[in-house]
């Protein structure tokens, strides 16, 4: 089973994200955008794993999150991986005043190592909004990206973390919630 740990995007912010996706829909670039129902922050990609491990992962998640209360994050700024000069993934950044998301990700990385999951070295919380297939006009796209680089999307409350299942289909992934931990 393919799965990951995530935070879903507040429905109130999805329209703002769709507006950004629409602004990037030009003939200068070919992008496969993330569908509104699939928008989420991945805290830890688990990959293919045995379904029997879900309960162990859920217990670790509960333990790690018991000291957290709901907290606010601010979605702000457009970025690209690996860079604006070579774009493969477009993402929206996250401002987290207390670094709660980064801390949660680091704790999950540390505690999931004992189950054989790879520990991520660098933690950059972000919301993937599209994957770039190819760029027709780098100069035009660079101009659009610079205009959106500091865009403010809005704030949301993180009040639960989910373990999700991902089923890959020819039309795109289908996500379903397996377990939920409320903050």
Question: Known catalytic residues?
Answer: 40, 126
Locus of tokens 């101009």: 143
CA distances from 144 to 58, 92, 98, 100 (A): 41, 14, 31, 31
Q: How many CB atoms lie within 10 A of CB 180?
A: 13
Bond before 114 cis per omega within 30 degrees: no
Task: Round to whole Å and give the CA distance between 139 and 52.
Answer: 49
> Nearest CA to 137 among 20, 24, 27?
27
């Amino acid at each position: 089973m393919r799965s990951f740990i995530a935070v879903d995007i507040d429905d109130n912010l999805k329209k703002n994200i769709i507006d950004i996706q629409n602004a990037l829909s030009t003939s200068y670039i070919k992008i496969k955008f993330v569908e509104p129902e699939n928008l989420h922050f991945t805290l830890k990609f688990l990959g293919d794993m045995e379904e029997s491990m879900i309960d162990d992962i859920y217990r670790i998640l509960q333990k790690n999150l018991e000291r957290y209360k709901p907290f606010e994050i601010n979605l702000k700024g457009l970025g690209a991986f690996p860079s604006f000069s070579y774009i493969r993934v477009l993402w929206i950044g996250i401002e987290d005043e207390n670094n709660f998301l980064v801390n949660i990700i680091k704790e999950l990385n540390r505690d999931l190592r004992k189950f054989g999951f790879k520990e991520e070295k660098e933690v950059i919380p972000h919301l993937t909004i599209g994957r770039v297939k190819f760029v027709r006009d780098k100069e035009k796209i660079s101009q659009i990206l610079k205009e959106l680089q500091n865009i403010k999307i809005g704030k949301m409350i993180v009040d639960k973390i989910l373990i999700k299942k991902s089923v890959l289909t020819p039309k795109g992934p289908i996500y379903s919630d397996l377990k939920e931990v409320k903050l």
